[in-house]
Chain A
Amino acid sequence: MNADTVRRVGLSLAAPALAIILSLAITSAVLAAAGNDPFDTFKQMIEYAKEPRTTAMIINGSVTYYFAALAVAFGFRMNLFNIGVDGQYRLAAMLAAAVGGAVSLPPILHVGLILLVAVLVGGLWAAVAGLLKVYRGVSEVISTIMLNSITTALIAFLLTTDKLAVQAEGSNNIGTKPIPASGQVPGIGLVPDSPLKVYGLIVLAVIVGFLYWFVIEHSRFGFDLRAAGRNEEAAVASGVNVKRMILISMAVSGGIAGLVGMPQLLGSSYTYSLDFPAGIGFTGIAIALLGRNTALGVAIGALLFGFLDNSSQILDLEGVPKEIVMITQGVIVLSVVIAYELVRRYRIVAQQREVGRRLSEPPAPAAGNDKTPQGAQA
């Protein structure tokens, strides 16, 4: 058994390792072709990442990515492709920011209310896609992509000075009314010597990650979810109400998505303005694929993407086009998908062979006719 466990762990690490090595190789080739020294480039990125402030930035970026990737992964677990995380978190962040800026409450309550609004908005917005799928058979891929566009239009409609937005004197930016101190989440000095603090909501990310793992792996609901994701028809036959599961999973996925904007909103910008980061939902898809939809894998993927994004800042200053990390990220995602599939197939074949071998060892081989002949077997 022990050797088996080692093998299993080895195989699960093989895929991401393969993918990362492959993408590093391709990135190096591109760098070399462009006349930059790959090793020097990577060294610069790592050196820069080791600076306390950059480390803190990487962690902060990863926290945001983590929520996005978990949201996507939750859907993936039941074969739902929630491409709409992007729209869900933007709408959630905008409305939560508006509510947070409009009320004044005691600190904990204030933050709680903002988070609640974000989760509800994200969840309900995603549930629209769930409803469409359950009652009208609309693919969630299509509907969530469309909901992303609708989100953009909706935010443009609401984020005007005569509705939810205010414009600071002399600024060309508009945003929701800033959230007062009671609704802000102070940072944590997690990285020694860093003037930049880590988002306080990293605690929430850890909690959500733990809950994700616990619910998926250890609850009945999680079992039903995974069953529906791996074999929907068998799940139906086993008594899973798949329609209900689709609705719930979309809503939960959207609820997690609602948290994506929160670290930034409550820990840094305190307002949803025109330049609030967009597009994180799509990065989340890539990270969910990279992390194999597990809480830990996604965390590692988020850190990797956070590292690539932030440490690439130094490259521009050193004359290396920082778009190189886009190539790395893209290649990682593609090679991860391919590597996982290869390893998965290898695993099945290897196991079938193994089972056959072990069964044929002590007693007589396969045919299995050693049971005493029954009745009138002609």
Chain B
Amino acid sequence: MLRVTKLVAVAAAATFALAACGGGSSDGSSDAGDTGSAKSDVKVGLAYDVGGRGDQSFNDSAGVGLDKAKSEFGIDVKELEASANETDSAREERLRLLAQGGYNPVIAVGFAYATSLGKVAKEFPDVQFGIIDDSSLEKVSNVTSLVFAEEQGSFLVGAIAAEASKSGNVGFVGGVNTPLIQKFEAGFKQGAESVNKDIKVQVKYLTQPPDFAGFNAPDKGETTAQGMIDAGADVIYAAAGGSGSGVFKAIAAAGKGNWAIGVDSDQYLTADSAVKDYILTSMLKRVDTSVYDFIKSAVDGKVLTGKQEFDLSDEGIAYSTSNDAVKDYEAKADELKKQIISGDIKVSATP
């Protein structure tokens, strides 16, 4: 009997592990040509990173850009989701399926596609590919690299954080400790220190790769933020995707005078009403804009190529001002923004 119980337990654990890898449901695949008013015969394929639609982070943001392009140009789109723990060959196959299916351009969301895209791009020289957050393929003619200067925007919100902090102690919560998120950290730190040389910046990452759960673990975000608040922080920057909601909750619980800073999209507009007033600003990384621009260029017949860098100068990177509370700090932030654009301030991308 015991033997059975033990076996079933292990089997259950194994099944659970499998299920846990399942990720979100992929209901994102849109039916072909449902808008009816097809003005363009461009077919766009988009391959998401793990998490897919509904990750409240950059996959969603890419989806927003795609939706906008779809409704504006009436194009045919196909979205495919990734599975957790898949190999390069699986990613490769996904891109290949899209390219084979006549989708052009094909957009790969996330740097994890770089290796596989390198191979598939060679197989389909007539298809234009876009990849977000990677520029290692910028020399491949049919790959468009859509990259962002996250450190610049983070610099600005770092400066705002330092201005808003009364305790001289601010926090950075990163989702997963990868070089990409380290860019956010680097910018934030430099920005904060540009305002207050003695400021204390607490840095915590929720998980380490290959555990990418840190982008979707509000509970971890909350306890981590709580720890920072207990250690004296009164402004916390959440560069942690879906985990940010936990950070907001911790800040709201700490009460007036404490501020959270959002990331990627304007989270003041999307967050829960209970916490939104505590979101001073958000560092905007307009993945949606980049996807939209890229598709638009293809629809217009003048497809973007090479490395497309989005930064403060073209509003691909920005900070949000929808919360009135940020007004007090805007002057300073805009001043810094000008200096970054002009090159007077150089923001390093590594911490």
Decide if A and B touch, CB cutoff 8 A.
yes
Hey, which bits of chain A sit against chain B, CB under 8 A? Answer: 53-54, 57, 60-61, 64, 81, 83, 90, 152-153, 155-156, 159, 161, 167-174, 196, 264, 268-269, 273-280, 282-283, 285-286, 289, 309-310, 313-314, 316-317, 319, 321-323, 326, 329-330, 333-334, 336-338, 341
Give the chain B neighbours of A152 by CB distance below 8 A. Answer: 207-211
Give the chain A neighbours of B71 by CB distance below 8 A. Answer: none
Using known A-B contacts A276-B210, A319-B31, A334-B12, determine if residue A313 contacts B93 with beta carbons closer than 8 Å. Answer: yes
Give the chain A neighbours of B21 by CB distance below 8 A. Answer: 279, 326
User: When the two chains form their complex, are residues A289 and B135 in contact, meaning their CB atoms are under 8 A apart?
Assistant: no
User: When the two chains form their complex, are residues B179 and A170 in contact, meaning their CB atoms are under 8 A apart?
Assistant: no
User: When the two chains form their complex, are residues B111 and A285 in contact, meaning their CB atoms are under 8 A apart?
Assistant: no
Interface: B40 (CB within 8 A): no
- Measured CB to CB, the closest approach of chain A to B166, in angstroms, equals 34
CB nearest to A279 among chain B residues = B85
CA distance A279 to B133 in the complex (A): 25
Main secondary structure of the interface of B (DSSP, over half): mixed
The tally of residues in B whose CB lies under 8 Å from a CB in A reads: 59
Give the chain B neighbours of A278 by CB distance below 8 A. Answer: 85, 210-211
Closest 3 A/B residue pairs (Cβ): A156-B208, A170-B135, A282-B17
- Measured CB to CB, the closest approach of chain A to B341, in angstroms, equals 22
CB contact between A279 and one of B17, B80, B89 (< 8 Å): that residue: B17
CA distance A316 to B47 in the complex (A): 11
CB contact between B18 and one of A156, A159, A196, A286 (< 8 Å): that residue: A286
User: Which interface residue of A152, A274, A310 has the most chain B CB atoms within 10 A?
Assistant: A274
CA distance A87 to B177 in the complex (A): 18
- Measured CB to CB, the closest approach of chain B to A49, in angstroms, equals 12
CA distance A334 to B11 in the complex (A): 6
Hey, which bits of chain B sit against chain A, CB under 8 A? Answer: 4, 6-8, 10-15, 17-19, 21-23, 25-27, 29, 31, 78, 80-81, 83-90, 93-94, 97-98, 101, 111-112, 114-115, 133-138, 145, 147, 177-180, 207-211, 307
- Measured CB to CB, the closest approach of chain A to B273, in angstroms, equals 32
CB nearest to B21 among chain A residues = A279
- Measured CB to CB, the closest approach of chain A to B50, in angstroms, equals 9
Question: What 4 new A-B contacts, CB under 8 Å, besides A171-B134, A282-B17, A309-B83?
Answer: A167-B179, A173-B112, A274-B210, A334-B15
User: When the two chains form their complex, are residues B86 and A277 in contact, meaning their CB atoms are under 8 A apart?
Assistant: yes
Give the chain B neighbours of A319 by CB distance below 8 A. Answer: 29, 31
Using known A-B contacts A269-B115, A277-B87, A285-B10, determine if residue A170 contacts B138 with beta carbons closer than 8 Å. Answer: yes
Using known A-B contacts A282-B14, A313-B93, A330-B15, determine if residue A171 contacts B135 with beta carbons closer than 8 Å. Answer: yes
CA distance A170 to B14 in the complex (A): 38
CA distance A377 to B81 in the complex (A): 81
Using known A-B contacts A276-B210, A286-B15, determine if residue A172 contacts B29 with beta carbons closer than 8 Å. Answer: no
User: When the two chains form their complex, are residues A289 and B10 in contact, meaning their CB atoms are under 8 A apart?
Assistant: yes
User: Which interface residue of B23, B25, B89, B135 has the most chain A CB atoms within 10 A?
Assistant: B89
CA distance A283 to B14 in the complex (A): 7
CB contact between B81 and one of A268, A280, A310, A316 (< 8 Å): that residue: A316
Using known A-B contacts A317-B80, A322-B26, determine if residue A171 contacts B111 with beta carbons closer than 8 Å. Answer: yes
- Measured CB to CB, the closest approach of chain A to B284, in angstroms, equals 19
User: When the two chains form their complex, are residues A316 and B29 in contact, meaning their CB atoms are under 8 A apart?
Assistant: yes
Give the chain A neighbours of B307 by CB distance below 8 A. Answer: 170
User: When the two chains form their complex, are residues B10 and A173 in contact, meaning their CB atoms are under 8 A apart?
Assistant: no
CB contact between A168 and one of B11, B18, B136, B207 (< 8 Å): that residue: B136
